[in-house]
Chains A and B, each alone.
Chain A
């Protein structure tokens, strides 16, 4: 039988999780965007803005992002990722 998590391992894991969570940023590849605007449709904090002329979407309010991951999951082209910059 494997041992369960210790308090120490839980705290360590969460310390790292918290660091990651603070740093996560959206990386958006406009080249792959097909303009379905699902990201705009699901973002609860107004990060995305449809570009009606170019039939794509613009990531215009990165500072509002709460790293919920909804746009990442709903993008059919995989054009959006949540990453720690440089890491």
Chain B
């Protein structure tokens, strides 16, 4: 069931189109048309950074441009390609799956008369933005220009207040409907001028929050203050922020927004050019646990790669963390200028999505698969990057099981207990105690239950729950038979739900994806019987 929920969270190309349409109240199209109107002529060579589903790509190609369109997301590109093919313009557009940070590696200097980007710069980190702007200077031909269409935070206070009042509810609504959102750029004309461009805002919509900017390389290119590529030193610390994040992560870890830190290069301890480079994702908890594990033992460079704030295993499995992302982060951080070696240590658990050979081939960095758990890193490094089998295989000790049960209970507790509190208030506490009790009990006895399948594991759990009910009836409160029968159905339903759902938390199994279908059917049947039969017969 969690799978369906996660799938729903996953943004699809069609959702993206609808979401953007809604968020920009349909005004994006008219600004895109202005780009075509002002800047596209027959055979203009255009690079489009972040083409998404290809709305702008299509109209530029229709106007006669020769477009090279890049995007990091293969499904988005596929949708864009479909649109362009349908219009019979396939020979005018070349599509490429590429991270914006890598454009300098793939195209020759002076290749384009126009570089366009629609709602993409606002998705980049400050550092990537500055790096891409610098690269664009070299890619533009003589007299070439950069057209940026993006959401900006209005500068005047009144406009900003109005923007927030309209934006926040609209964003929430759009996210619910399509899982699409945007982030406004702050003070972008200053960023552009630091990067060596002269900028003109030629059109805007939505109270100035959606702007079309045209930037031309200044007379003296390269006069920009490129930020230091090391973002700072990471130290283990406790603050109100970490406390709040910890509380959130304890109960609602599977729900977005995922707490994240700014991707980029950081130092832990006092690293020098010979220190190791550790790669990780940008989930706040991951980074903090990594720092806690190595601080005081190892000085290292930590390259935090944008994984959408998701842990490395799920991010790599879900396509959020891949080799292109890692290579992009390497470029932006200019790591090869900082260290004297070419060795990267990646978490072993991202090997399901990060192609190690692509990094070796394309970026000439050697990839070492580090231990599964961050706490093994110091020993692994002392042993000369030699991994023992114990570091290689996932463990699922009691502490982890309790942590995962709590994290899933927060969410499932809400899904089950809110309806119960509304429709079955008199049974709230018995159901609450059964759910929480069964979940923790399951977490404790999990390794000793037979089978690898959540449904199989739910059988002994249900038997134990029924034994508990029998004990209760015999020792404390003799219940009439129909109620005992009904309670049994409820407890079996809860056992199946608990065992099947929580099976997904175990790293040793094929997740709950594998049997969610039967689980939902069984739980729904038992739950409905439990709820409706007494109502129909008038016991309640």
A residues at B contact (CB < 8 Å): 1-5, 10-11, 13-15, 17-18, 21-22, 38, 41-46, 64, 66-70, 73-74, 76
CB pair B513–A18 under 8 Å, yes or no, is yes
> B100 CB to closest chain A CB, in angstroms?
24
CB pair A73–B351 under 8 Å, yes or no, is yes
Evaluate whether A14 and B351 lie within 8 angstroms (CB atoms) in the complex, with A3-B14, A21-B510, A44-B392 already known. Answer: no
Q: Say yes or no for B349: interface residue by CB 8 A criterion.
A: yes
Contact with A21, one of B356, B372, B513 (Cβ below 8 angstroms): B513
> A64 CB to closest chain B CB, in angstroms?
8
Residues of B within 8 A of A42 (CB): 348, 351-352, 369
> Which 5 residue pairs of A and B lie closest in terms of their CB atoms, listed nearest first?
A42-B351, A70-B351, A70-B352, A68-B352, A44-B394
The DSSP consensus for interface residues of chain B is helix
Give the distance in Å from the alpha carbon of A68 to the alpha carbon of B514 in the complex. 13
CB pair B14–A4 under 8 Å, yes or no, is yes
Give the distance in Å from the alpha carbon of A43 to the alpha carbon of B514 in the complex. 20
Evaluate whether A73 and B355 lie within 8 angstroms (CB atoms) in the complex, with A1-B17, A44-B392, A68-B317 already known. Answer: yes
Residues of B in contact (CB 8 Å), total 38
CB pair A10–B8 under 8 Å, yes or no, is yes
> A4 CB to closest chain B CB, in angstroms?
5
Evaluate whether A14 and B7 lie within 8 angstroms (CB atoms) in the complex, with A44-B372, A45-B394, A70-B351 already known. Answer: yes
Residues of B within 8 A of A38 (CB): 356, 369
Residues of B within 8 A of A68 (CB): 317, 352
CB pair B514–A18 under 8 Å, yes or no, is yes
Give the distance in Å from the alpha carbon of A13 to the alpha carbon of B206 in the complex. 38
Give the distance in Å from the alpha carbon of A4 to the alpha carbon of B369 in the complex. 39
Q: Select the residue from A5, A46, A67, A70 with max chain B CB neighbours within 10 A.
A: A70
Contact with A along B348-366 (1 / 0, CB 8 A): 1101111111000000000
Q: Say yes or no for B68: interface residue by CB 8 A criterion.
A: no
Contact with B516, one of A5, A18, A69, A73 (Cβ below 8 angstroms): A18
B residues at A contact (CB < 8 Å): 3-4, 7-8, 12, 14-15, 17-18, 21, 178, 317, 348-349, 351-357, 369, 372, 387, 389, 392-394, 507-511, 513-517
Contact with A41, one of B14, B18, B369, B394 (Cβ below 8 angstroms): B369
CB pair B7–A45 under 8 Å, yes or no, is no
CB pair B349–A4 under 8 Å, yes or no, is no
Residues of A within 8 A of B21 (CB): 1
Give the distance in Å from the alpha carbon of A15 to the alpha carbon of B195 in the complex. 51
Contact with B509, one of A13, A66, A69 (Cβ below 8 angstroms): A66
Q: Of all chain A residues, which has the CB nearest B21?
A: A1
Residues of A within 8 A of B15 (CB): 4
Residues of B within 8 A of A45 (CB): 393-394, 508
> B524 CB to closest chain A CB, in angstroms?
12
Give the distance in Å from the alpha carbon of A68 to the alpha carbon of B3 in the complex. 15
Residues of A within 8 A of B348 (CB): 41-42, 44
CB pair B510–A44 under 8 Å, yes or no, is no
Give the distance in Å from the alpha carbon of A43 to the alpha carbon of B7 in the complex. 26
CB pair A2–B14 under 8 Å, yes or no, is yes
Q: Give me 12 other A-B pairs in contact (C-beta within 8 A), A14-B517, A17-B513, A44-B392 excluded.
A: A4-B15, A4-B18, A5-B12, A10-B7, A11-B4, A14-B3, A38-B356, A41-B351, A43-B392, A44-B348, A66-B510, A66-B511
> A24 CB to closest chain B CB, in angstroms?
8
Residues of A within 8 A of B349 (CB): 44
Q: Of all chain A residues, which has the CB nearest B393?
A: A46
Residues of A within 8 A of B509 (CB): 66
Q: Of all chain B residues, which has the CB nearest A42?
A: B351
Q: Of all chain A residues, which has the CB nearest B15?
A: A4
Give the distance in Å from the alpha carbon of A1 to the alpha carbon of B16 in the complex. 11
> A51 CB to closest chain B CB, in angstroms?
16
Return 6 A-B CB contacts under 8 Å, by A number: A5-B12, A10-B4, A66-B508, A66-B510, A70-B351, A73-B351
Give the distance in Å from the alpha carbon of A42 to the alpha carbon of B368 in the complex. 10
Residues of B within 8 A of A5 (CB): 12, 14
CB pair A15–B517 under 8 Å, yes or no, is yes
Evaluate whether A4 and B352 lie within 8 angstroms (CB atoms) in the complex, with A14-B4, A76-B357 already known. Answer: no
CB pair B352–A69 under 8 Å, yes or no, is yes
Q: Of all chain B residues, which has the CB nearest A41?
A: B369
CB pair A41–B392 under 8 Å, yes or no, is yes
> A22 CB to closest chain B CB, in angstroms?
5
Q: Of all chain A residues, which has the CB nearest B350?
A: A70
Give the distance in Å from the alpha carbon of A14 to the alpha carbon of B17 in the complex. 23
Give the distance in Å from the alpha carbon of A76 to the alpha carbon of B358 in the complex. 10
Residues of A within 8 A of B4 (CB): 10-11, 14
CB pair A18–B392 under 8 Å, yes or no, is no
Give the distance in Å from the alpha carbon of A43 to the alpha carbon of B349 in the complex. 9
